[in-house]
C-alpha cells in the first residue's frame, strides 16, 4: 500500500504541464514527488531546478532534466514539503538543511505547492519542530548566545554542513516567543550578523495539499 506521503506527492502531478520549469524541493515528501514525476510521461517534457545536492542526485537517478536556477528566466511551479504549516499558510522548513536554496527557489516561482501529511498542520510555527537557522561557521557561538537571549533555546545541528558550507542552528521558542509575532521574530533573527537565512517562510501564499 502507498504511504500518505506518496499519495499526497502524487496528487501534485496534476499541477504540472508540458514545458514547465519545475522547482524541486528537498525532504522526504518532496522526494516522493520527484520519484512520481520521474515515473510519469511528463518527465521528458519538463525542466527541473533542484534545491539541494541530495535532490539533484535523486532527480538524476529518476531521469529528470536538470538545470541551474541561473540558467532559467522563470520557475513555473515549485513543489516542496514543509516541517510545519500554520493557519495563515506560513511555513517552517529546513529539517533537511536546504532552507536557503528552498526559499530562493520559492521566491522566483510563479506557483508554490506544498505537499504535507496532516500532522504538519499546527497553530504556531515552532510548536512541534525547532526553527532552523543557517549561519556562517565563523560566528555560530556568538549567534547561539544572542538567540538564547531572544527566548530561543538553540543547539548546533551535529555533524551537518549545508550545501552552502554553513551550519544549522535548531531553535525551540519559549511560550512568549511562540505566541508572538512571527514577522518580528524572523526580522530580528535575520538582523544578526552571520545569519544567512531562517526556516520561517512568510507571505509565500502556497497552495497546501495534505493527506489525512
CA–CA gap between residue 155 and residue 170 (Å, rounded): 5
DSSP 3-state of 44 = helix
| Contact predicate 9/80, CB 8 Å | no
Q: In what order do the strands lie in the sheet with 91-92?
A: 84-85, 91-92, 200-201
Give me the catalytic one of 56, 102, 146, 197.
102
15 CB burial (10 A radius; 0-12, 13-18, 19+): middle
Q: Is the dihedral of CA 16, 20, 25, 31 positive or negative?
A: positive
Neighbours of 123 (CB within 10 A): 10
Is residue 118 annotated as a catalytic residue, yes or no? no
> Catalytic site residues?
102
Amino acid at each position: 500500500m502507498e504511504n500518505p506521503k506518496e499519495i499526497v506527492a502524487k496528487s501534485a502531478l496534476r499541477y504540472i504541464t508540458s514545458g514547465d520549469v519545475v522547482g524541486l524541493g528537498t525532504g522526504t515528501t518532496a522526494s516522493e514527488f520527484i520519484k512520481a514525476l520521474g515515473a510519469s510521461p511528463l518527465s521528458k517534457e519538463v525542466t527541473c531546478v533542484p534545491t539541494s545536492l541530495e535532490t539533484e542526485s535523486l532527480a538524476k537517478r529518476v531521469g529528470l532534466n536538470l538545470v541551474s536556477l541561473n540558467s532559467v528566466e522563470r520557475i513555473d511551479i515549485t513543489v516542496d514539503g514543509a516541517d510545519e504549516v500554520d493557519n495563515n499558510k506560513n511555513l517552517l522548513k529546513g529539517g533537511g538543511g536546504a532552507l536557503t536554496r528552498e526559499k530562493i527557489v520559492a521566491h522566483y516561482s510563479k506557483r508554490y505547492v506544498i505537499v504535507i501529511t496532516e500532522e504538519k498542520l499546527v497553530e504556531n510555527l515552532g510548536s512541534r519542530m525547532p526553527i532552523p537557522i543557517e549561519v556562517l561557521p565563523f560566528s555560530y557561538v556568538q549567534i547561539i548566545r544572542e538567540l538564547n537571549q531572544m527566548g530561543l533555546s538553540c543547539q548546533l545541528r551535529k555533524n551537518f554542513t549545508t550545501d552552502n558550507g554553513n551550519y544549522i542552528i535548531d531553535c525551540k521558542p519559549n511560550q512568549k516567543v511562540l505566541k508572538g509575532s512571527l514577522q518580528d521574530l524572523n526580522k530580528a533573527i535575520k538582523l544578526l550578523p552571520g545569519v544567512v537565512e531562517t526556516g520561517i517562510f512568510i507571505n509565500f501564499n502556497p497552495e497546501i495539499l495534505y493527506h489525512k
